[in-house]
Structure 1
């Protein structure tokens, strides 16, 4: 009986020890406090040390420009996208395709879709971004940048914008 009591006591101590070893995460960012360089600073984690990104909000948007009628990414654009996405790993990415106002509206919408899809495919197939983190919108000529009605303004509108957005988790309380 004493042997069984000692075994049960040992098991109980192990259970208590394992419960108390569970890491605390005071800021709720998913990084345990003992590994979190910013344990009291809540926010979307963009690096392994548990701190929110130091990058400015203005850097959350990457704009890639395209030649008339083109949707394929150049090697320079892929290099730029690769560097940018490294800063925003783990964020939701909104990929918005645009065109200039020249030509048929339906063709422009299809071209903006092809541009956005080209970027999304590069993100998933070459840069290993999870597809569920990418949302694609084709906007055609519907949202031009402010400017004139000239070649330079048209060139500015032939673009894809990739917007990094923090993932917001909705916690629900059970019944």
Structure 2
């Protein structure tokens, strides 16, 4: 009886500490438990060929990008980039390289099947796979953040394969540098 209780206590502590590591992206652009980072670049530090937009222009670009750039999707229980999603990733990469004050948050999402913990980890792997692919296309890691929502933010709530396919995705949220 004593050893059983010890295992229960150890499991509970592991679960508590594992959940404590989870970072949640807040709509204001902040991550719980972290201080916001603000990096100012001098003209000499900016890569050549990049455009710096005014606040009004950036607002228009952000709105247009959110409408134009579609989610990419994943096969069941997978996080590898599919061939048909490469053009979207190339477009994202070129935009991040073109505009010096543009950043992206890559959200990893899953369908409802599997445990919350498993889907959170799978969503993280999906977001990270997208980030790593964008890095191979020349995007600086500092221009990207990743977050996993697991199964918490489904696009479709029906219980069938066509709906689940819509939920297995990476979503792009474009933001202005320093926001």
Where on the TM-score scale, by shorter chain, does this alignment land: which range? 0.5 to 0.7
Say whether residues 1:92 and 2:103 are aligned partners.
yes
| Structure 1 CA distance for aligned equivalents of residues 178 and 114 of structure 2 | 39
**Residue in 2 that maps onto 1:158:** 168
Q: Post-superposition shift, 1:54? A: 9.0
Q: Post-superposition shift, 1:57? A: 4.7
| Structure 2 CA distance for aligned equivalents of residues 85 and 94 of structure 1 | 13
Q: Post-superposition shift, 1:101? A: 0.4
Distance 1:79 1:61, change over 3 A: closer
Q: Of the two structures, which has the highest relative contact order with CA contacts closer than 8 Å and spacing of 6 or more?
A: 2
Say whether residues 1:62 and 2:70 are aligned partners.
yes
Say whether residues 1:43 and 2:43 are aligned partners.
no
**Residue in 2 that maps onto 1:5:** none
Q: Post-superposition shift, 1:42? A: 2.8
Task: Give unmatched runs, 5+ long, in structure 2.
Answer: 1-41, 44-52
| Structure 1 CA distance for aligned equivalents of residues 141 and 56 of structure 2 | 19
> What secondary structure is seen at the aligned counterpart in 2 of 1:72?
coil
| Structure 2 CA distance for aligned equivalents of residues 130 and 44 of structure 1 | 25
Task: Give unmatched runs, 5+ long, in structure 1.
Answer: 1-29, 32-40, 47-51, 170-175
Could you state the TM-score of these two structures normalised by the residue count of structure 2? 0.60
Q: Which has the higher helix share?
A: 2
RMSD: 2.8
Q: Does the Cα contact within 8 Å between 1:60 and 1:163 map onto a contact in 2?
A: no
| Structure 1 CA distance for aligned equivalents of residues 57 and 141 of structure 2 | 19
Aligned length: 125
